[in-house]
Copies of this chain bind each other. A is one copy, B any other.
């Protein structure tokens, strides 16, 4: 595998955007190199994921989002405003222990988000 300019741009875009869909990554990359095709972005994301440089997370509705694999964290997705917060994986350690004990289930906390309502949306709802 060669780290071509396109792939580097995709990696940079993922790094800068934080959590981004392939579509968003593509737009970002095209800001620098307008001819880069979305097909290339998909292929690059797949490759970068195989290499362990990025990972994708299902935050809820619609497309998965990609982020760099440098700090593991658990996602808190607000299903009202769409904001993504992050908490340390240790937050789920206790739950993970429990699931392992009781169910034999080995939790991968980073692949799926926890869904709910964020602080500011709760404040708005409360009035």
Closest chain B CB from A73 CB (angstroms) = 13
Tallying the copies of this chain within the complex gives 2
B residues in contact with A98, CB < 8 Å: 91
The reply on A27 being an interface residue by CB < 8 A is no
Closest chain B CB from A44 CB (angstroms) = 19
Contact, CB under 8 Å: A76 / B58:
no
What are 25 A-B contacts with C-beta separation under 8 Å?
Answer: A58-B115, A60-B111, A76-B99, A76-B105, A77-B112, A78-B105, A79-B108, A85-B105, A91-B95, A91-B98, A103-B119, A104-B118, A104-B119, A104-B122, A105-B116, A105-B119, A106-B116, A107-B114, A107-B115, A107-B116, A108-B115, A108-B117, A112-B113, A112-B114, A112-B115
- In the assembled complex, the Cα of A77 lies from the Cα of B107 at a distance in Å of 9
